[in-house]
């Protein structure tokens, strides 16, 4: 599981608490990354730093320096997430093209990994038809595609990104949607389907009208031949 723009590391702590199989927390600010690492260690978590490697300790939480504007495909090639999380990352129009590019690379990593194993996937466009279904509904909680992991021959669910954001500027938000469409991403608004639980007293009076939860997937499905 990859968390982009991880801030203080709160989401990482929650993921570790629920025993996520592998957690990678990334941020593009070195001081924020150092503070995040301190917070994780303060909560007795095993922390790794540096570039992600395929054979690393999966029980550790990885802290990774990832500035969106300079992140390359080669830098991200060993990150093959099932789920990508982001919170309050849609705020600066200058950063949005880089954010969308990173999300697109991460969502396509499994397809590229399959190709590297000689599976030669063939891409078929969805022709506008929504392939994602069952918004986090049990086993149908993620975008489904016909994909093979190259190990046991079983189909794998395609990766999905969930982005929670506050709409501070509608033009900035619409710009993100436009960039996503240009990158062949399918963006679905799950806000009305998944209302947050009221866990903190101040949330009862907090205006949540401008908070959105988005599900982002590739607009292409993979068929192996």
CA-based nearest residue to 217, from 103, 46, 63, 48 = 103
Mean pLDDT, all residues of the chain = 76
Tens-place pLDDT, residues 184-195? 999 999 988 887
> Residue 22 in contact with residue 64, Cβ under 8 Å?
no
Beta strands in 47-199, from DSSP E residues, in sequence order: 47-49, 61-65, 83-87, 121-125, 160-166, 185-189
Tens-place pLDDT, residues 62-82? 899 999 999 988 888 888 899
pLDDT of 150 reads 39
Local confidence band at 7 (pLDDT 50, 70, 90 cut-offs):
confident
Tens-place pLDDT, residues 18-31? 888 889 999 999 99
pLDDT of 210 reads 81
41 pLDDT exceeds 50? yes
Cβ-based neighbour number of residue 178 at 10 Å: 12
> Residue 25 in contact with residue 12, Cβ under 8 Å?
yes
Cβ partners under 8 Å of residue 27, min gap 6: 5, 6, 7, 33, 36, 65, 66
Tens-place pLDDT, residues 160-207? 999 999 898 999 999 999 999 999 999 999 988 887 676 666 666 666
pLDDT of 205 reads 63
Which residues, in sequence order, are bridge partners of residue 57?
Answer: none
pTM given for the model: 0.74
């Amino acid at each position: 599981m990859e968390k982009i723009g991880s801030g203080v590391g709160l989401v990482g702590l929650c993921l570790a608490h629920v025993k996520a199989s592998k957690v990678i927390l990334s941020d593009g600010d070195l001081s924020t990354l150092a503070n995040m690492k301190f917070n994780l260690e303060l909560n007795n978590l095993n922390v790794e730093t540096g570039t992600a490697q395929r054979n690393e300790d999966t029980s550790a939480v990885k802290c990774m320096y990832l500035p969106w504007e300079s992140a390359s495909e080669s830098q991200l090639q060993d990150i093959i997430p099932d789920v990508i999380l982001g919170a309050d990352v849609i705020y600066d129009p200058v950063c949005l093209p880089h954010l969308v590019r990173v999300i697109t690379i991460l969502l396509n990593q499994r397809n590229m990994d399959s190709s590297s194993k000689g599976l030669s996937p063939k891409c078929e466009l969805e022709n506008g038809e929504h392939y994602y279904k069952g918004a986090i509904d049990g086993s149908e909680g993620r975008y489904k595609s016909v994909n093979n992991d190259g190990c046991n021959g079983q189909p794998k669910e395609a990766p999905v990104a969930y982005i929670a954001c506050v709409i501070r500027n509608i033009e900035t938000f619409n710009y993100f949607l436009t960039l996503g469409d240009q990158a062949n991403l399918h963006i679905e608004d799950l806000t009305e389907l998944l209302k947050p639980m009221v866990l903190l007293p101040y949330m009862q009076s907090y205006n949540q009208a401008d908070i959105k939860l988005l599900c982002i997937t590739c607009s292409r499905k993979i068929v192996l031949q």
